[in-house]
Structure 1
Amino acid sequence: MLRLLKETQTSLARKLQLGAAVIFAALLLLVYLYTAFVLRHDPTLTDLGIRLQGPSLNHPLGTDHLGRDVLTRLMLGGQQTIGYSLLALAAALLIGTAAGMVAGYRGGWLDRVFMRIADGFLAFPDMIVVIVLSGLLGPGLHSMIIAIVMVKWVSYARVVRTTVITESKQDYMLAARTNGLSPARMLTRHLLPHIAGQVLVLASLDLGKVILLISSLSYIGLGVQPPTPEWGAMLNDSRPYFQLAPELMLFPGLAIVLVVLCFTVLGDAIRDLYDVKKEVRG
């Protein structure tokens, strides 16, 4: 009875967390639609005559040091931050999945080379490696995406490689080889379904980390460049005016915290859902 009560409480807590994350995402979408279709401010248009104004009907969150509407820049900055995070994550996922499948299935010298490369990337924190690579490639959007992909593909490749090695020893894979199934078909038809769930769970948990990476790079000047609105760049632009208008740093900082928290909760829910399905199948 006690165990059943604990499981019920845990299930209820997961549903509440997931519901809160979905509600927050819906509110974020509504604010974005309001900004895009009602306010219609140019996020890069400067007007020094209204610089550092407080909230008003025309500017709900006020204006920044160049007279630009903060709410518009905040919403479009979210597009940049989240959009680039999804792009970098998708590229890392595809590259890592392909590399892990080939290394795990082929084995031999190819697998040994892959493992040495992976160990080299994992020897240092992600943030340090991304900053170094971005600095070497030069500041800018493309350099930032390339640096993040070069760091993030390793974790997906390692997960996929381990799964491929484990599943390759199962009876159904031995039967497929005996029947003369080609390696490409074995990888896509038999191994990919076992890999997809784990990779998607890892990606959902990784999205918040990538958002923090992109915001951090833009904050130190290695990511998205002005005047393009982006949360990290907005934090950097607002630093000199913190004492005069602290809300200019508060709004993008709060947006980063809430969005990362939202995606972390969604990632936890997806992981728990996948674990439950796995237990039921087992």
Structure 2
Amino acid sequence: MKAMTINIDQRKKTKWKKVIAITAIILVIVSLLYTFAYLRHDSNHVDMGNRLAGMSLEHPLGTDHLGRDMLTRIWIGAQYTIGYSALALLASLLIGVPIGLLSGYFKGMIDRVFMRSADAFLAFPDTIVAIVLAGLLGPGIGNLILAITLIKWVNYARLVRSTVLAESQKEYIWIAKMNGLSPRKIVSKHLFPHVIGSVLVMASLDFGKVILLISAFSYIGLGVQPPMPEWGAMLNELRPYFNSMPQLMLYPGLAIVIVVLLTNLLGDYLRDYFDVKKEGKV
């Protein structure tokens, strides 16, 4: 039985070594292509005399309807799509994790207020709430990030709260309290390390969802506004040319799919690394 467990662990390690190697190779290729694109062309340079051009050495992925280099816009667009997604996710973590720690440890009025607020946000699907908030706040990436933050922080707060509630009943927490350790030190030294694994796993899996949200909202005009080369906004701009030059929409679409796939692989790796699935935390 022990030998079988060792073999399973070895297969897991081999599998994830291959995944990490492939991911590293993709990142190196992406970095080289990004450097090439950034140095050669301006992502917003309009050249109407060269619009809708095919692939060439000068424009490896061709040009769009305004003569802008597609390769450059794809790689520069990664800064906006991935960067704004990371910003929205970071804001959600900075709000949700502290609230979950406080709510789970101190309970009482803080916990009741949090639970009522969480129930209000969870009464409707995330996407519906995001659409309503983005529609009320108006188009713009700042408003979209705010809307995503308002719907995502609750999930992290609930996850952290449930973990802290379970850990708070264990003996080592009671011993720490009896030894006079302050609540701040108990939370930071004993409780926070127990929640960080689950939070990282959820964040890595959520990263792909946030990328899809930002791309989708930019596609319908509620997120990043043209001429910024965000992938969802690019899909919206190039939609009229889908029948004549479908590859123009294929490039940003593939970029979204690849990045989301990589974030899901990262989430699976972190879940195995922290053994979160086994513990039943996520």
**Is 1:28 matched up with 2:30?**
yes
Render the CA deviation track for 1:224-245: whole Å, top value 9, x for unaligned.
Answer: 0111110000000010011111
User: 2 CA distance for matches of 1:134 and 1:14?
Assistant: 38
User: 2 CA distance for matches of 1:4 and 1:24?
Assistant: 30
Tell whether the 8 Å contact from 2:198 to 2:276 is kept in structure 1 after alignment. no
Instruction: Report the count of equivalent residues.
Output: 277
| Aligned position for 1:106 | 106
| Aligned position for 1:175 | 175
Paired residues for 1:34-183 under 5 Å: 34-37=36-39, 39=40, 41-183=41-183
Render the CA deviation track for 1:191-238: whole Å, top value 9, x for unaligned.
Answer: 111121221121111111111111111001000011111000000001
| Aligned position for 2:200 | 200
Tell whether the 8 Å contact from 2:197 to 2:276 is kept in structure 1 after alignment. no
Paired residue type of 2:62: G
Render the CA deviation track for 1:225-272: whole Å, top value 9, x for unaligned.
Answer: 111110000000010011111111000001100111011111111111
Paired residue type of 1:23: I
User: 1 CA distance for matches of 2:123 and 2:21?
Assistant: 38
1:185 is displaced (CA, Å) by 2.0
Q: Structure 2: which 5+ residue stretches go unaligned?
A: none
TM-score, with length taken from structure 1: 0.92
Tell whether the 8 Å contact from 2:235 to 2:253 is kept in structure 1 after alignment. yes
Paired residue type of 2:80: Q
1:130 is displaced (CA, Å) by 1.1
User: 2 CA distance for matches of 1:201 and 1:50?
Assistant: 46
Tell whether the 8 Å contact from 1:18 to 1:269 is kept in structure 2 after alignment. no
Render the CA deviation track for 1:90-109: whole Å, top value 9, x for unaligned.
Answer: 11011100110111112123
Q: Structure 1: which 5+ residue stretches go unaligned?
A: none
Alignment RMSD (CA, Å): 1.9
User: 2 CA distance for matches of 1:178 and 1:5?
Assistant: 44
User: 2 CA distance for matches of 1:180 and 1:151?
Assistant: 38
User: 2 CA distance for matches of 1:217 and 1:145?
Assistant: 11
